[in-house]
Amino acid sequence: MEKIDRYRAIIKDVLTEYAAPRKTYSDGVETQLLFDTENDHYQALISGWTSKKQVFLVAFHFDIKNGKIWLQQNNTDYDIIKDLEDRHVPKEDIVLAVHSPLMRQFTDYAVA
Protein backbone atom coordinates (compact mmCIF):
# COMPACT_ATOMS: atom_id res chain seq x y z
CA MET A 1 0.00 0.00 0.00
CA GLU A 2 2.95 2.31 0.65
CA LYS A 3 3.96 2.06 -3.03
CA ILE A 4 0.41 2.94 -4.17
CA ASP A 5 0.30 5.95 -1.84
CA ARG A 6 3.66 7.07 -3.23
CA TYR A 7 2.40 6.69 -6.81
CA ARG A 8 -0.74 8.68 -5.98
CA ALA A 9 1.40 11.51 -4.65
CA ILE A 10 3.74 11.40 -7.66
CA ILE A 11 0.89 11.56 -10.18
CA LYS A 12 -0.68 14.48 -8.32
CA ASP A 13 2.68 16.27 -8.26
CA VAL A 14 3.44 15.83 -11.97
CA LEU A 15 -0.04 16.90 -13.03
CA THR A 16 0.03 19.89 -10.68
CA GLU A 17 3.43 20.95 -12.02
CA TYR A 18 2.16 20.59 -15.58
CA ALA A 19 -0.97 22.64 -14.85
CA ALA A 20 0.61 25.46 -12.79
CA PRO A 21 1.92 27.63 -15.65
CA ARG A 22 -1.16 26.76 -17.73
CA LYS A 23 -3.78 27.40 -15.05
CA THR A 24 -5.60 30.14 -16.93
CA TYR A 25 -5.46 30.76 -20.65
CA SER A 26 -7.04 33.73 -22.39
CA ASP A 27 -10.82 34.04 -22.65
CA GLY A 28 -11.56 31.86 -19.64
CA VAL A 29 -9.93 28.61 -20.79
CA GLU A 30 -8.29 26.92 -17.83
CA THR A 31 -6.50 23.74 -16.82
CA GLN A 32 -8.44 21.71 -14.28
CA LEU A 33 -7.12 18.82 -12.22
CA LEU A 34 -9.33 15.89 -11.26
CA PHE A 35 -8.03 13.45 -8.65
CA ASP A 36 -10.18 10.41 -7.82
CA THR A 37 -8.00 8.77 -5.17
CA GLU A 38 -10.69 6.28 -4.21
CA ASN A 39 -10.75 4.71 -7.68
CA ASP A 40 -7.26 5.86 -8.72
CA HIS A 41 -8.14 7.99 -11.75
CA TYR A 42 -6.24 11.24 -12.36
CA GLN A 43 -6.77 13.82 -15.11
CA ALA A 44 -5.65 17.20 -16.32
CA LEU A 45 -8.37 18.86 -18.42
CA ILE A 46 -8.33 22.00 -20.53
CA SER A 47 -11.78 23.53 -20.41
CA GLY A 48 -13.61 26.76 -21.21
CA TRP A 49 -14.65 28.97 -24.11
CA THR A 50 -12.77 31.02 -26.69
CA SER A 51 -15.06 33.46 -28.47
CA LYS A 52 -17.86 31.20 -29.68
CA LYS A 53 -16.03 27.89 -29.47
CA GLN A 54 -16.05 25.52 -26.52
CA VAL A 55 -12.72 24.00 -25.55
CA PHE A 56 -12.68 20.66 -23.75
CA LEU A 57 -9.67 18.38 -23.89
CA VAL A 58 -8.36 15.65 -21.65
CA ALA A 59 -4.68 16.57 -21.67
CA PHE A 60 -3.65 13.60 -19.48
CA HIS A 61 -5.37 10.64 -17.91
CA PHE A 62 -3.61 8.28 -15.50
CA ASP A 63 -4.89 5.24 -13.64
CA ILE A 64 -3.23 3.12 -11.00
CA LYS A 65 -4.02 -0.53 -11.63
CA ASN A 66 -2.38 -3.66 -10.28
CA GLY A 67 0.33 -1.62 -8.56
CA LYS A 68 1.35 0.18 -11.76
CA ILE A 69 0.84 3.63 -13.25
CA TRP A 70 -1.10 3.48 -16.52
CA LEU A 71 -0.89 6.45 -18.89
CA GLN A 72 -4.26 6.19 -20.62
CA GLN A 73 -4.14 9.48 -22.52
CA ASN A 74 -1.63 12.15 -23.51
CA ASN A 75 -3.01 14.78 -25.87
CA THR A 76 0.05 17.00 -25.57
CA ASP A 77 3.64 17.00 -26.74
CA TYR A 78 4.77 17.18 -23.09
CA ASP A 79 6.90 14.21 -21.95
CA ILE A 80 5.16 13.50 -18.66
CA ILE A 81 6.68 10.01 -18.48
CA LYS A 82 10.08 11.64 -17.97
CA ASP A 83 8.59 13.37 -14.92
CA LEU A 84 7.62 9.96 -13.51
CA GLU A 85 11.08 8.56 -14.21
CA ASP A 86 12.71 11.62 -12.60
CA ARG A 87 10.75 10.69 -9.46
CA HIS A 88 12.19 7.19 -9.57
CA VAL A 89 9.15 5.30 -10.85
CA PRO A 90 10.69 2.22 -12.47
CA LYS A 91 9.85 1.55 -16.11
CA GLU A 92 8.40 -1.83 -15.15
CA ASP A 93 5.74 0.04 -13.13
CA ILE A 94 4.69 2.32 -16.02
CA VAL A 95 2.22 1.08 -18.64
CA LEU A 96 1.92 3.14 -21.80
CA ALA A 97 -1.74 2.33 -22.29
CA VAL A 98 -1.86 4.93 -25.05
CA HIS A 99 -0.37 2.12 -27.15
CA SER A 100 -2.25 -1.04 -28.03
CA PRO A 101 -1.44 -4.11 -25.93
CA LEU A 102 0.28 -5.63 -28.96
CA MET A 103 2.58 -2.63 -29.42
CA ARG A 104 3.53 -2.24 -25.74
CA GLN A 105 5.94 -5.17 -26.00
CA PHE A 106 8.16 -3.00 -28.21
CA THR A 107 8.59 -0.30 -25.55
CA ASP A 108 10.92 -0.29 -22.57
CA TYR A 109 7.90 -0.14 -20.26
CA ALA A 110 5.49 -2.62 -18.71
CA VAL A 111 3.03 -4.41 -20.99
CA ALA A 112 0.27 -4.71 -18.38
Specify the pTM. Answer: 0.91
**Quick check: is 111 in a domain?**
no
For residue 35, give the amino acid letter.
F
Q: Considering its fold, how many domains does the chain have in total?
A: 1
What is the rounded distance in angstroms from the CA atom of residue 94 to the CA atom of residue 16? 19
Residues spanned by the domain of 72: 2-104
- The CATH number given to whatever domain includes residue 20 is 3.30.310.110
pLDDT digits (tens, 9 = 90+) for 69-95: 999 999 999 999 999 999 999 999 999
pLDDT value of residue 26 = 65
**Structural domain includes residue 75:** yes
Residue 112 resides in a domain: no
pLDDT, one tens digit per residue, over 23-76 is: 666 667 889 999 999 999 999 999 988 888 898 999 999 999 999 999 999 999
Q: 36-68 burial string, b = 16+ CB within 10 Å, else e?
A: eeeebbbbbbbebeeeeeeeeeebbbbbbeeeb
